[in-house]
Structure 1
Amino acid sequence: MASKERIQRLKEETRINILDASLQIVKEEGWQALSMRKIADVIEYTAPIIYEYFANKEAILLELTRKGYLILTRDLQEVRAKHELPAKQLEAMWLAYWDFAMENKELYQLMFGVEMNCCCDMVATLEESEGPYNEFSQAIIELMHIEHPTKDMVCLKYYTFWSVVHGLISINILRRGYSDEMNQQVLKDAIGTIIKSIERV
């Protein structure tokens, strides 16, 4: 039994090493440089062994996307739990969303197709991709002064937030943004304005 557990643990470690090596390559050379052979070179395995864990490069990209959504959802849950008022929750969560994107630019690019082709059809199949929306939508519903807001109403407010924040993130990932101070001011002003529009509903 111990031997089986050890084999399973080694397999999981190898799988994690493959994903870590993939991100390392991307951070150093960009997404276009990622290949199964290059991953094998980094972890000092042969390419066929990589295929035992992931059918192709797209499978690795999908798993990294899943990882990104799990990290982002966890970050949002942590900051939301620190505030009682939904307005404060939303402000803190969108600032945490920004921080995630700036600290994990490569993952964010992959998750949302910034400067690369988005595997949108595959991402839509990931249950984890719903995590951030679920966290934000709960806070939006609590902020609304409506007994039973429709799904469309909640989606509209979420996408209003997301369009502004994602747009600012994309501008900065493309290196066309301004100073950190300016980014924070624009971000806070936009978030505050949208929160006020929800509170007036």
Structure 2
Amino acid sequence: MASKDRIQRLKDETRANILDASLRIAVEEGWQSLSMRKIADAIEYTAPVIYEYFANKEAILLELTRRGYMILSKDIQTAKNQYQLPAKQLEAMWLAYWDFAFANQELYQLMFGVQINCCCGVVEDLPESKSPLNQFREVIISLINSADPAPDLICLKYYTFWSVVHGLISINILKRGYSPEMNNQVLKAAISDIINSIAKAT
């Protein structure tokens, strides 16, 4: 049993090393430079060994996307737990979303197809990809002063939030943004305005 455990541990470590090396290459050279050969060279294995763990490069990208959503969901939950009031929770959660995007820029690009092709249909099937949406929806529902809020209203408010925040993130990833001070003003004002619009509509 000990031998089997050791073999499984080595497999898990190799798999993690492949993912870590892939992300490191993306950070240093961009996603367009990623290849199975480069990954193999980075971890000092032969390319066929990589294929024992992942069928192709797309499978690696999908697993990294899963990892990104897991980190994002954890960050959002941590931000939410700092406050009791739904309005304060929403603000903190979207600021955490913003911080994640720039602390993990390559993962964010991969998750949402910013300057990289995204297998969006496949990504949408990942359970992890639904976690941020569900976390935000839960707090939006808490903020709406109604025992049975309309699903369309919840959806509208979430996508209004996401469109603004994701749009501002994308502008800055494309190097078309303004100063950090301006970004901060726009971000906080937009979040506040949407929160107020929810309060007024209920």
Tell me the TM-score range normalised by the shorter chain: over 0.9
Secondary structure at the aligned position of 2:175 is classed as coil
Residue deviations 1:97-152 (CA, integer Å, cap 9, x gap) = 00000100000000000011111011011000001001100110000012111222
Q: Which residue of 1 aligns with 2:82?
A: 82
Q: Which residue of 2 aligns with 1:125?
A: 125
Shift in Å, 1:153: 1.5
Secondary structure at the aligned position of 1:176 is classed as coil
Q: Which residue of 1 aligns with 2:166?
A: 166
Q: Which residue of 1 aligns with 2:185?
A: 185
Q: Which residue of 2 aligns with 1:58?
A: 58
Q: TM-score, normalised by structure 2?
A: 0.98
Q: Which residue of 2 aligns with 1:71?
A: 71
Instruction: Map 1:23-172 onto structure 2 (within 5 A).
Output: 23-172=23-172
Distance in 2 (CA, whole Å) between partners of 1:135 and 1:150 is: 17
Distance in 2 (CA, whole Å) between partners of 1:47 and 1:102 is: 31
Secondary structure at the aligned position of 1:200 is classed as helix
Alignment identity in percent? 71
Q: Which residue of 1 aligns with 2:8?
A: 8
Distance in 1 (CA, whole Å) between partners of 2:47 and 2:133 is: 37
Distance in 2 (CA, whole Å) between partners of 1:27 and 1:20 is: 11
Q: TM-score, normalised by structure 1?
A: 0.99
Q: How many residues align?
A: 201
Distance in 1 (CA, whole Å) between partners of 2:31 and 2:72 is: 20
Question: Residue 73 of structure 1 aligns to which amino acid in structure 2?
Answer: S
Distance in 2 (CA, whole Å) between partners of 1:2 and 1:116 is: 43
Question: Residue 187 of structure 2 aligns to which amino acid in structure 1?
Answer: L
- Give ranges in structure 1 of 5+ residues lacking alignment: none
Q: Which residue of 2 aligns with 1:195?
A: 195
Q: Does 1:22 align with 2:30?
A: no
Distance in 2 (CA, whole Å) between partners of 1:5 and 1:151 is: 47
Shift in Å, 1:157: 0.4
Two-structure CA RMSD over aligned residues (Å): 0.6
